[in-house]
């Protein structure tokens, strides 16, 4: 039994198709992140799971029950909002038990849940305060507490960290991760921040224009992105995508960048489909962290490229190289000094390479 199942879901706002035949499944205890840029449909999908938006086509199942037409309060879900949405005229205690009171839960059960959750989240000192008297981090914990007391089947988070400053964001991210590990709840979490997605999720569904681009574990998404959109969205800085052509002969395959005078052999690449590879227009993808300044593995490809720019970010530096007039970014420790405007030897880790069809943008 899947805790959450989305089947052929489509949603339109007027004439705009916001979600196009979405299919999704989650097992219990999983932390699914819906990741994508603004307008990709992730928040709409979350609202539909919650029951706050109507569906045009398709179904939503929670624990195998079709909840497509069921009110939010009867779906056994709880939600944490970006602005926390705490009721301003009520104090923390009233905020947390409001949902339980609406469900006509017994007084004893309410007390029990309240004590349990407020001590767990360390908000028991704050019970009599109003939201306006709390800090951002405290409000967030109260919002999470409000969701926890209801013991829902699925927790929904709608960009809960976006309103926090950078330092607090990192702290709260770890809190959420610890919470999930302890409680083993099923979570659907919406964010546009790929670092958040990678660190929190057990599964990430990357969305763009209402379509799920890839739905896998963070490792697979990072190492084997299914198309150029995913490759570019994940990673900071994102994967280098070099335009060029494949050359296939009877015994080997190589990649030539547009305007380059050298080939990169890619014989060990795991192709999905090995037909019609010769002269195929492709993008050669390699992450900045997989380009080295000295040989690390046997199969590393050596090449001389001119360094154009260096950006220092503390423990690392991002260097820009020129590969046949296309920019190539590499990440090195900042202790390495590389002269600009001169050619340097670089080593590509060919086991970490991705190839994409330049027309379909799909992974080869």
Partner 1 sequence: MQAKTSSSNYKQLEQKSKYTNIFLRWFLYFVLILFASYFIFPLYVMVVTSLKTMEEIRQGTLLTWPSGLNFDAWAVAWGGRGYGAGDTFLKPYFWNSLKMVIPAVFFSTFIGAMTGYVLTKWRFKGDSWVFLFLLFGCFIPFQAILLPMARTLGALGISNSIIGLVLVHTVYGIPFTTLFFRNYYVSIPTELVKAARIDGAGFFKIFFKILLPISAPIIVVTVIWQFTQIWNDFLFGSTFSFGKAAPIQVALNNMVLSSTSVKEYNVDMASAIIAGIPTLIVYVLAGKYFIRGLTSGAVKG
Partner 2 sequence: MFKWLEKNLPKIVLAPAVGLISWFVYGFVLWTLYISFTNSKILPKYELWGVGQYVKLWASRKWLISVDNLLVFTALFLIFCIVIGIILAIFLDQKIRAEGVLRTIYLYPMALSFIVTGTAWKWILNPTLGIQKMFIDWGFENFTFNWLVDREMAIYTIVIAGVWQSAGFVMALFLAGLRSVEDEIVKAAKIDGAGLFTVYWKILIPMMRPVFFTSFVILVHISIKSYDLIVALTQGGPGISTTMPALFMTQAAFHKSQVGLSAASAMMMFMAVAAVIIPYLYSELRRENAS
d(CA 84, CA 71): 21
Residue 28 DSSP label: T
The nearest distance, CB 111 to partner 2, in angstroms, is: 18
Name the nearest CA neighbour of 319 among 302, 331, 301: 331
Find the binding residues for partner 1 in span 152-191 (CB under 8 A). Answer: 152-153
Contact pick of 10, 56, 59, 76 for partner 1 (by CB under 8 A): 76
Burial class (CB in 10 A: 0-12, 13-18, 19+), 14: exposed
Does 232 engage in binding with partner 1 (CB under 8 A)? no
Name the nearest CA neighbour of 228 among 236, 212, 239: 239
Find the binding residues for partner 2 in span 3-62 (CB under 8 A). Answer: 47, 50-52
The nearest distance, CB 102 to partner 2, in angstroms, is: 4
Helices and strands of the chain, counted as H and E runs: 8, 20
Residues of 139-175 as b/e, b for ≥16 C-beta within 10 angstroms? bbbbbbbbbbbbebbbbbbbbbbeebeeeebeebbee
For residues 72 and 265, which CB has a smaller minimum distance to partner 1 in the complex? 72
d(CA 101, CA 106): 8
For residues 75 and 363, which CB has a smaller minimum distance to partner 1 in the complex? 75
The nearest distance, CB 301 to partner 1, in angstroms, is: 52
Site string for partner 1, 23-62 (x = CB under 8 A): ---------------------------------------x
What stretches of the chain adopt beta strand conformation (E)?
4-13, 16-26, 31-35, 57-62, 65-66, 77-80, 154-158, 186-191, 203-208, 211-216, 240-248, 253-257, 263-265, 281-286, 291-292, 301-312, 316-323, 326-333, 343-348, 354-357
Contact pick of 23, 83, 267, 360 for partner 2 (by CB under 8 A): 83
The nearest distance, CB 102 to partner 1, in angstroms, is: 13
> In this structure, are residues 227 and 221 in contact, taking their beta carbons and an 8 Å threshold?
no
Q: Which does 55 bind (CB under 5 to 8 A by kind): partner 1, partner 2, none?
A: none
Does 78 engage in binding with partner 2 (CB under 8 A)? yes
Contact pick of 4, 40, 62, 77 for partner 2 (by CB under 8 A): 77
For residues 81 and 269, which CB has a smaller minimum distance to partner 2 in the complex? 81
The nearest distance, CB 30 to partner 1, in angstroms, is: 15
Contact pick of 55, 70, 85, 324 for partner 2 (by CB under 8 A): 85
Task: Please report, as ranges, the residues that interact with partner 2 according to CB under 8 A.
Answer: 47, 50-52, 71-73, 77-79, 81-83, 85-90, 98-99, 102-103, 146
Footprint on this chain of partner 1 (rule: CB under 8 A): 62-63, 65-67, 69-71, 74, 76, 151-153
């Amino acid at each position: 039994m899947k805790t959450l199942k989305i089947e052929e879901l489509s949603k339109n706002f007027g004439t705009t198709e916001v979600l196009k035949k979405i299919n999704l499944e989650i097992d219990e205890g999983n932390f699914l992140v819906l990741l994508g840029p603004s307008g990709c449909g992730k928040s709409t999908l979350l609202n539909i799971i919650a029951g706050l938006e109507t569906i045009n086509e398709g179904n939503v199942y929670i624990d195998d029950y079709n909840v497509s037409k069921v009110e939010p309060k009867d779906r056994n879900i709880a939600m944490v909002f970006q602005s926390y949405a705490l009721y301003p005229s009520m104090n923390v205690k009233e905020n947390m038990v409001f949902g339980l009171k609406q469900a006509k839960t017994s007084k004893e059960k309410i007390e029990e849940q309240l004590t349990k959750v407020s001590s767990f989240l360390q908000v028991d000192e704050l019970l009599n305060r109003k939201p306006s008297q709390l800090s951002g981090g405290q409000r967030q914990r109260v919002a999470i507490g409000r969701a926890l007391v209801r013991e829902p089947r699925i927790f929904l988070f709608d960009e809960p960290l976006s309103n926090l400053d950078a330092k607090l964001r990192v702290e709260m991210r770890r809190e959420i991760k610890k919470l999930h590990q302890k409680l083993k709840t099923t979570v659907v979490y919406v964010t546009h921040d790929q670092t958040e997605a990678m660190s929190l999720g057990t599964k990430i569904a990357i969305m763009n224009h209402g379509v799920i681009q890839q739905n896998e574990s963070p490792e697979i998404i990072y190492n084997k992105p299914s198309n150029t959109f995913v490759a570019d969205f994940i990673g900071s800085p994102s994967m280098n995508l070099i335009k060029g052509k494949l050359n296939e002969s009877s015994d080997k395959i190589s990649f030539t960048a547009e305007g380059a005078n050298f080939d990169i052999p890619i014989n060990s690449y795991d192709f999905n489909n090995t037909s019609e590879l010769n002269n195929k227009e492709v993008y050669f993808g390699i992450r900045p962290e997989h380009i080295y300044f000295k040989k690390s593995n046997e199969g590393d490809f050596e090449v001389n490229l001119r360094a154009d720019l260096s950006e220092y970010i503390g423990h690392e530096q991002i260097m820009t190289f020129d590969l046949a007039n296309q920019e190539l970014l590499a990440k090195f420790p900042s202790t390495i000094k590389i002269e600009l405007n001169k050619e340097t030897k670089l080593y590509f880790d060919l086991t970490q390479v991705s190839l994409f069809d330049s027309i379909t943008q799909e992974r080869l």
